[in-house]
Amino acid sequence: MPAAKFICPDGQRVGITDCLRSCPQRCMFLPTLRAVANSLDRKLSEPTVTELIAGTRETYLKKTTDYAVDPASVLYALHGQAVHSINERHTQGNILSEERLKDDITSGQFDLFGKILDADDGVLGDLKVTSSFKLMKALGIYKAKVDTGEVYKSGVKKGLPKFRSELRFDGVRDLLDWAIQLNYYRMLLERAGFKVNRMYIQALCRDSGLRIAAERGITKSVYIIPINKISDHWLTRYFQHKAKALRDAIESNTLPPVCSFRERWNDKKCFGYCAARENCPHAQSLIKEANDDERLIA
């Protein structure tokens, strides 16, 4: 099912159709709200690459239950779509873009393929608009605690060593989801007869220029990030497994197991970012626990 309701700024819920038809005082321009509604439309059709990369429970709930979203929380996704449209309008000269390819497991729409970086006509590119936090992780940047050689002279920490944070740029790159997505597009393209030589993500940082981004070592507004090849055998097994788990759940009308630790971002996604959280028992119990803790403290 598609998202059925919008959450208004005052917390009220209103059917999306009702909002678009006759809201007395809209929180955004009507075309923006229409674009948000359009971006949320998820049908019970064959799952896409991105739907299979998400947690099976999340995709199952989004496809089978009504859910409500705050339109403001979807605006970043619209930024991404706008960047795609802008690029698509400038693909003269043997560049393919936004083609949907499918196999017997899933389907996916790659962003750009061809001479997009240099003379090599086999470059596959994906466009992302993302946060400095995600970019920091994708680039392997992390903060290390460094001993300053000084000690606290007073207070509860008196006598304890003082540390400061230093940025390091040699960490493990945390971009598995991006790599899986782009590699599946590569596989679909190669099966369609195109030779993919290299893969890259072009990531626009949506909070670049802010102090928080600089503190994370993100000093540019755009990064080109090379993506390594993942074996076709691994990809096929992974997507077959995820597609079967989703299909079985839908056919038997059974809620899939809780999303993996990675898929649910160590529960952070369940608290505020997963659109399916209202219908997910795991998220509801986390939220209840947090509310109970807050009440105890108050």
CB of 293 to ligand SF4, least distance (A): 19
Q: 5 vs 277, which CB is nearer to ligand SF4?
A: 277
Nearest-angstrom CA–CA distance, 80 and 204: 9
Nearest-angstrom CA–CA distance, 274 and 280: 10
Cβ-contact 48, 107 below 8 angstroms: yes
Nearest-angstrom CA–CA distance, 203 and 43: 28
Residue 56's nearest CA partner among 236, 231, 264 is: 264
- By the rule CB under 6 A, 276 interacts with ligand SF4: yes
Q: 235 vs 259, which CB is nearer to ligand SF4?
A: 259
The pair phi, psi for residue 224, each rounded to 5°, is: -105, 120
Helix (H) or strand (E) holding 88: helix 75-88
- By the rule CB under 6 A, 116 interacts with ligand SF4: no
- By the rule CB under 6 A, 277 interacts with ligand SF4: yes
Residue 168's nearest CA partner among 191, 196, 200, 136 is: 136
Rule CB under 6 A: choose which of 16, 48, 58, 202 binds ligand SF4: 58
Rule CB under 6 A: choose which of 40, 49, 61, 249 binds ligand SF4: 61
Rule CB under 6 A: choose which of 57, 186, 206, 216 binds ligand SF4: 57
- By the rule CB under 6 A, 283 interacts with ligand SF4: yes
- By the rule CB under 6 A, 264 interacts with ligand SF4: yes
Per the DSSP assignment, residues forming a β-bridge with 225 are 201
The vertex-66 CA angle with 60 and 68, nearest 5°, equals 110
CB of 35 to ligand SF4, least distance (A): 24
- By the rule CB under 6 A, 141 interacts with ligand SF4: no
CB of 259 to ligand SF4, least distance (A): 3
Interface characters, 225-254, with ligand SF4 (x: CB under 6 A) = ------------------------------
Pairing of strands 198-205, 123-130: parallel
Contact residues for ligand SF4, defined by CB under 6 A: 55, 57-58, 61, 258-259, 264, 269-270, 274, 276-277, 280, 282-283
